[in-house]
Amino acid sequence: MRDAGLSLPRNDPRQYDELAGEWWRPDGAFAMLHWLAEARAALVPPATRPGALLVDLGCGAGLLAPHLAGKGYRHVGVDLTRSALAQAVAHGVTAVNGDATAVPLVDGCADVVAAGELLEHVPDWHAVVAEACRLLRPGGLLVLDTLNDTALCRLVAVHIAERLPTVPRGIHDPRLFVDHRQLIAECARHGVDLQVRGVRPGVPGLLRWLFRQTRGGEARTSRAPRIVPTGSTAVLYQGHGVRGG
Ligand SMILES: C[S@@+](CC[C@H](N)C(=O)[O-])C[C@H]1O[C@@H](n2cnc3c(N)ncnc32)[C@H](O)[C@@H]1O
């Protein structure tokens, strides 16, 4: 168990410094972020023009980067955490150290804006959505995933997940979880027609992975669990939507 959160308040960004060595460990504290990055990247089509820009808000250590390879984007990552950004740079991301609510890039510069597992970590997710939509060019694509503001999500993501091996305790503050209807409405207000769907790790892969974790084995040679669609948005959900002209 990683106990970075025990000495810090829930969702304190300094946890990411304490856990800096975990980002690129496939079975480390951020293992599920690797699975989610693959699923998020699958929503991003190949670039349609030379020099297309993908802005990755709250990019962390750039886990999205390998899954974008060959799609033709310049990958700019914005994050508060310098120790994570340094690792993102090593994976080909152009780093901007700053707040996702005030990104020093011009309006309409981005062909794609990604916000993976970010909205549930910020005190004002409405401001991040406004900034994401400001950065998107007309016709540009917003892709995101986040945790829903439901009792089931609080149970699964906090009370259950934080008792599992490798999930950092205190990484989430459930008061920041994001109601999917409010998110759709906020995106619409900024010109993005967001479609959402519930997702979760596939059960057989997840059970195999948990079994390996409890036996202390590293799974570098085995397939990581896949993120699959599920019928309910009540816990984890993905969104994607195009900004209107
Ligand atoms: C759960 S991690 C997700 C990282 C990455 N998107 C991924 O999926 O691998 C959340 C990230 O958001 C960053 N973060 C939190 N609040 C932020 C803010 N206001 N502006 C920019 N980054 C922020 C943290 O430093 C951390 O790297």
CB 88 within 8 A of CB 116: no
Which residues lie below 8 Å from residue 138, measured CB to CB, with a gap of 6+?
108, 243, 244, 245
- Between the CA of 215 and the centroid of ligand 1 the distance, in Å, is 30
Go through the domains of the chain in sequence order and give each one's CATH number.
Answer: 4-242 (3.40.50.150)
Q: Which pTM was predicted?
A: 0.95
Q: Is the CB of 131 under 6 A from ligand 1?
A: no
In the chain, what is the straight-line distance between the N-terminal and C-terminal CA atoms, in Å?
Answer: 48
Whole-angstrom Cα distance, residue 147 to residue 174?
9
Residue 29 in this model has a pLDDT that exceeds 50 = yes
The model's pLDDT over 229-245, given as tens digits with 9 standing for 90+, comes to 999 999 999 999 999 98
Q: Please report the atom of ligand 1 found closest to the CA of residue 81.
A: 25
> Please, which pLDDT band fits residue 112 given cuts at 50, 70 and 90?
very high
* Residue in this structure with the two tokens 């089931």, named with its chain if needed: 152
Collapsed DSSP state (helix, strand, coil) of residue 241 = strand
* Residue in this structure with the two tokens 């994607």, named with its chain if needed: 240
HSE value, Cβ hemisphere, 13 Å, CA-based, for 92: 13
Residue 66 in this model has a pLDDT that exceeds 90 = yes
Q: Is the CB of 239 under 6 A from ligand 1?
A: no
Provide the percentage of residues in the chain whose pLDDT is more than 70: 94
Whole-angstrom Cα distance, residue 130 to residue 102?
10
The model's pLDDT over 181-217, given as tens digits with 9 standing for 90+, comes to 999 999 999 999 999 999 999 999 988 888 887 776 5
